[in-house]
Amino acid sequence: MTLKIARMTVKELEEAIRHHNRLYFELQKPEITDYEFDQLVLRLKKLNPDSPVLSEIPPDFSVEQKEFRKVSHTSEMLSLDKCYSEKEIQEWAEKFEGDLIASPKIDGCATEIRYNSKGELILAATRGDGMVGEDITANARMIRDIPQKIPSGPPFSKGGAEIRGEIYMKLSVFKKYKREFANPRNLAAGAIKQKDPRKTRDYQLSFFGYDILGLSLKSEGEKIELLKSFHIPTVEARQIPKEKMQGTYDYFLSKRDSWDYETDGVVFKVNQVKEQERLGFTAHHPRYAIAYKFQGDSGVTTLKDVEWSVARTGVITPVGVVDPVQLSGASVTHVSLHNYGLMKKLGLRKGSKVLMMRRGGVIPNLESVVEAGRGAAIEMPKKCPSCGFATELIDDFVYCTNKGGCRKAKMEELEHFIKVIECDGFGEKLIAQLYENGFVKDPADFYQLKREDLLELERMGEILATKLIGNIQAKRQLPLDLFVRSLGIRELAKHTSKILVREFKTLDRILKVGEEELSAIHTIGPVIAREVVEGLRKRRGVIEKLLRHVTLVGATPRTGSPLREGPFFGKKFLFTGSLLAMERGQAEKLVEGKGGEIAGGVTQDLDYLVVGDGGGAGSKLDKAKKLQAKGGKVQILSEGEWRKWVGL
């Protein structure tokens, strides 16, 4: 400790700490070393350990973080749907009414920032997998654009607010790193995950806010104005009618080179929140927003033929064979045509001249028909290309009618199961051999394989056979979300499977869920709910067979029955927002221990919605208030009220 610090009074120490705290965290212009700052703090702690200034130092700041803890988002951080043409954006706009908000799509790192009811920053988290991110609070405090405190009061709720946006690196800053790093986005992603927050500060990252959750705002325009009042930077945004979408896209494209940040398109979002709620979500993206991407490399080629491929669900998908065309440095000869209905709509024929584009520089896509041509019309296959059974057309999709018996569909199902459970060694050719020789017809059959079975196959030695048996036996314990995803049900991919496990906890509960309850969950609409519920019903036999061989890890045993007594018996609870006193899982177990049931969403039969005091209540709170206004029975409790009720 220096002699100067040793002679400072309590008042002088407090003033110095406040001054340097602001320089360090808010202005990012430190005048003293971290060691000197620590000495000021230690001296004040010794002279006046109850000084209020000590509480102003961010509690999450440490010079070296060993790891970033996992954080559950209050509502899923979804990706945006994408389109690449004026025709596509027009078709999307036909689904809703009213104006839009248009803004450049920043190529950065999606981030969640939470503020409590006093307006104090309490959490920053990465997007992660959309449901669970990583706590980067200490590092986010190093970004000047992210305020440590925002104005509280109206329109703040009791739970505070959650701001979502993009952390990015300005192009002017990236210039000094461009020889070492491919692009500013990748560098920003690494910079925000530095173990030493001071290194994050040195990268001079920036932040744009684009959304606010937890507040009852009526439009995107209101959100933008509120963000500005918080002194949070926002990108240029324009409120426009639908007929000006293409013109606005062209305007932003013309300005692209003048901006000090990377953009890869224009985001169009329905302005009115009420209309957004009507449109809802898919499992992957909100239906009320879309990214109109700046176009990639394109070229015109000729459609020579159409091949048909059978998926595990029995859908027969068309794949176009085209003359080789160079797109983004690669020769493209095949393109997905998605479904038979789309082919008919485009008027595709053999010999059609088509415009191809490599979307995002990666996925080849047929954009439009330039010239229809005079070749033969492309007919729907009458028989399945795999098993020869008759086909049927349902909506826009062609299906094989040999349900459960089509070889290609079965192969796809078995390959999907092995891929999801991540079992090494069982490749496409080996699975085909096992199927053809009658050893494996269903996923459960993998667990009944014997070394002697494998030794009957071509090119199979004893060492490899032993290793393969060991690999599959090592997969007898499966996490519940992995198990339900391995079933190969349409719309039941990684995202939806995690939601099912988070909301319903046990396989028994998942199997009993109905369409209404499932569709009430944020990001799961009626289409996904219908596919999942119907798929689980059809796969019940497969599930029962698998459960004879596998144990579900982290799931309540299927034989367990809910507690049929206790003060909460017969009542349904749901938690929303960030709980301060405990983790959400602990709170839910406490409810279940008292006989209560955890609901999957805000529906008519919900009894209590508990709002966490840590902020970010989101759409569940809004839905509950609307149900109350219509005479619904749901009661809304704060976390504090609920804790008193349960005696905590």
DSSP codes of every residue in 539-569: THHHHHHHTTT-EEETS--TT------STTT
Across all residues in the chain, what is the average pLDDT? 86
Max mean pLDDT among 51-60, 344-353, 441-450 falls in: 441-450
For residue 63, what pLDDT band results from cuts at 50, 70 and 90?
very low
The residue-averaged pLDDT of 433-438 equals 93
For residue 153, what pLDDT band results from cuts at 50, 70 and 90?
low
Bigger pLDDT: 275 or 600?
275
CB 485 within 8 A of CB 532: no
DSSP conformational letter for 295? P
* Contacts within 8 Å (CB) and 24+ apart, 638-641: 638/158, 638/159, 638/610, 638/611, 638/613, 639/577, 639/579, 639/580, 639/581, 639/610, 639/611, 639/612, 639/613, 639/614, 640/613
Q: Do domains 423-474 and 479-553 have the same CATH topology?
A: yes
Radius of gyration of the chain (CA): 28
Query: Cβ contacts of residue 82 below 8 Å, gap of 6+?
Result: 265, 290, 291, 292, 293, 359, 360
pLDDT in tens, 134-149: 999 999 999 999 999 9
For residue 29, what pLDDT band results from cuts at 50, 70 and 90?
low
Checking if the pLDDT of 588 tops 90, the result is: no
Checking if the pLDDT of 361 tops 70, the result is: no
pLDDT in tens, 479-524: 999 999 999 998 888 888 888 888 888 999 899 888 877 877 766 7
The residue-averaged pLDDT of 439-459 equals 94
Question: Which among 314, 523, 489, 318 has a CA at the least distance from the CA of 404?
Answer: 314
Checking if the pLDDT of 25 tops 80, the result is: no
Q: Which of 45-54, 404-413, 441-450, 525-534 has the lowest mean pLDDT?
A: 45-54
Each residue of 421-433: b (16+ CB within 10 Å) or e? bebeebeeebbeb
Cα-to-chain-centroid distance, residue 3: 54
ω into 155 cis (within 30 of 0): yes
What is the rounded CA–CA span in Å between residue 28 and residue 9?
A: 26
What is the rounded CA–CA span in Å between residue 289 and residue 281?
A: 10
Architecture of domain 423-474 in this structure: Orthogonal Bundle (1.10)
Integer CA distances (angstroms), 446 to 430, 439, 451, 460, 553, in order: 12, 8, 12, 16, 19
Checking if the pLDDT of 111 tops 50, the result is: yes
What is the rounded CA–CA span in Å between residue 553 and residue 366?
A: 43
What is the rounded CA–CA span in Å between residue 173 and residue 504?
A: 46
For residue 362, what pLDDT band results from cuts at 50, 70 and 90?
low
For residue 380, what pLDDT band results from cuts at 50, 70 and 90?
very high
Predicted confidence at residue 41, as pLDDT, reads 82
Predicted confidence at residue 1, as pLDDT, reads 55
Report percent pLDDT > 70 for the chain.
90
The residues spanned by each domain of the chain are 3-56, 81-293, 298-400, 423-474, 479-553, 572-646
Question: Which CATH number is correct for 3-56, 1.10.150, 1.10.540, 3.40.50, 1.10.287?
Answer: 1.10.287
- The residue to which tokens 């062609």 are assigned: 398
CB 206 within 8 A of CB 260: no
Predicted confidence at residue 537, as pLDDT, reads 93
What is the rounded CA–CA span in Å between residue 635 and residue 648?
A: 20
In a 13 Å sphere around the CA of 36, the CA atoms on its Cβ side amount to 12
DSSP conformational letter for 334? E
DSSP reduced 3-state for 214: coil
Give the fold, CATH level 3, of 479-553: DNA polymerase; domain 1 (1.10.150)
Query: Checking DSSP bridges between strand 635-638 and strand 608-611, what pairing results, if any?
Result: parallel
Q: DSSP letters of 438-467? A: TS-SSGGGGGG--HHHHHTSTT--HHHHHH
- The residue to which tokens 């599959």 are assigned: 472
pTM of the model: 0.55
CATH superfamily of 298-400: Nucleic acid-binding proteins (2.40.50.140)
Predicted confidence at residue 59, as pLDDT, reads 47
What is the rounded CA–CA span in Å between residue 587 and residue 273?
A: 31
DSSP conformational letter for 135? B
Question: Which CATH number is correct for 81-293, 3.40.50.2000, 3.30.470.30, 3.40.50.300, 2.20.25.90?
Answer: 3.30.470.30
pLDDT in tens, 122-133: 999 999 888 889
Predicted confidence at residue 558, as pLDDT, reads 40
Maximum distance among all Cα pairs of the chain, rounded to whole angstroms: 94
Give 293's strand partners: 265
- CATH class of the domain defined by 572-646: alpha beta
CB 588 within 8 A of CB 575: yes
- Which of 46, 95, 105, 572 does the annotation list as catalytic? 105
Predicted confidence at residue 328, as pLDDT, reads 66
For this structure, is 105 an active site residue? yes
Integer CA distances (angstroms), 237 to 110, 360, 435, 484, 636, in order: 18, 23, 57, 41, 35
- Report residue 7 as tokens: 């002679």
Checking if the pLDDT of 555 tops 70, the result is: no
